[in-house]
Amino acid sequence: MKKTLFYIFGTAIVSALVAACGSSQSKSGRTDTYSSGAITFASDESFSPIIEQEMDVFHSIYTDAHVTPIYTDDSTATRMLLDDSVQLIITARQFSKEEKDYFITREFIPKEVLLAYDGLALLVNKSNNDTLITVNDLRRILLGEVTKWSDIYPGSKRGDIQVVFDNRNSSTVRYASDSILGGNTIESPNVTATQKTADVIDFVEKNPNAIGIIGSNWLNDKGDTTNLTFNKEIKVMSVSRQETATVDNSWKPYQYYLYNGNYPLVRSIYALLNDPRNGLPWGFAQFIASPKGQKILLRAGLLPAYGNITIRDMNVKY
């Protein structure tokens, strides 16, 4: 028997050649350059696995540079950028018009660097065999129009659906509100939030009636270089755009299905910068967008924003 699997590989083609700032101290007191010095930046906590991998390689190449992350929620990270507490944040959004206008009044145009695409994964307990769901059913759950598993899967004995997010102010919640609910707020009384992504996975592992919503970069089996398996302690739901979810029209957040548009819940990851000096914040952001940084994202299970992605069919006999 033969089965065709899809495997993605490739490297980015972004060139990030920006002149380094001088080492003299600026009016702000900063002494960092494009490739040296020490800075702190903020990131949505849901991206911490990939940020840690990017930092490890960055520090090994630029031994005079040190970047320190503050892992927080999306709202807090944005406030830190606006009040100059940090000059770089990693998040799943672009600047709003109001935010851009704010920086322009200070005679500076902020910068956005698209880094990658991440699938929003829906997790269920490994004992749950109801793993096909439509985007519309997810919308109904978040709005509180359906509250029990039997409302979607007739005959289910699991009782109330418990939905859990990573943080009530995270980019995951904002994506659900903006992209799934069309700007409406989450109304279901069965929706809760933890403080971090690892807690969501732990909650789903312990609760048979739960649905966890997190970034798919948390789920890959580190021993699987093809990124075709997920954490074995939970199941990942297949999601369909159609009215009724079937095996043939529902997809998991594999890189290939992000790439070809089959998976419907995809968010973009950006580096947002408030760095007029083009110093180390800009240098680290451009490293992630460089060929080396993009290869790290690819291996971590995300879809890189840049590069020639080659798709190959692999015939596996068993």
Q: Per-residue pLDDT tens for 212-259?
A: 999 988 886 554 444 445 667 799 999 999 999 999 999 999 999 999
pTM (two decimals): 0.83
| 229 lies in the same domain as 152 | yes
pLDDT reading at 111 higher than 90? yes
Q: How far apart are the C-alpha atoms of 41 and 284, rounded to whole Å? A: 10
Domain boundary among 224, 251, 266: 266
Could you tell me which residues come within 8 angstroms of residue 237 by beta carbon, excluding any fewer than 6 positions away?
A: 121, 122, 123, 124, 131, 132, 133, 211, 252
Domain boundary among 225, 243, 266: 266
pLDDT at 17: 34
| 225 lies in the same domain as 284 | no
| 128 lies in the same domain as 262 | yes
Q: Residue 284 belongs to what domain range?
A: 2-22+30-117+267-317
In the structure encoding, which two tokens stand for residue 273, read together? 């910068």
Q: How far apart are the C-alpha atoms of 127 and 116, rounded to whole Å? A: 32
Q: How far apart are the C-alpha atoms of 310 and 191, rounded to whole Å? A: 40
| 73 lies in the same domain as 169 | no
* CATH (domain of 222): 3.40.190.10
Q: pLDDT over 70 for what percent of the chain?
A: 84
Q: Which residue has the tokens 């979810």?
A: 245
**231: helix, strand or coil:** coil
| 53 lies in the same domain as 169 | no
Q: Which amino acid is at 12?
A: A
| 201 lies in the same domain as 232 | yes
| 137 lies in the same domain as 200 | yes
Residue 314 banded pLDDT, cuts 50, 70, 90: very low
pLDDT at 282: 97
| 138 lies in the same domain as 72 | no
For residues 87-98, average pLDDT? 95
| 106 lies in the same domain as 143 | no
| 254 lies in the same domain as 126 | yes
| 250 lies in the same domain as 155 | yes
Residues for the chain: how many in total? 318
Q: Which amino acid is at 99?
A: E
| 98 lies in the same domain as 148 | no
pLDDT reading at 87 higher than 60? yes
pLDDT at 309: 60
Q: What is the CA radius of gyration of the chain?
A: 21
Phi-psi region of 97 (alpha: psi -120 to 50; beta: other; left: phi over 0): alpha
Positive or negative CA dihedral for 96, 98, 103, 109? positive
pLDDT, tens digit (0-9, with 9 covering 90-100), for 113-134? 999 999 999 999 999 999 999 9
Domain count, the chain: 2
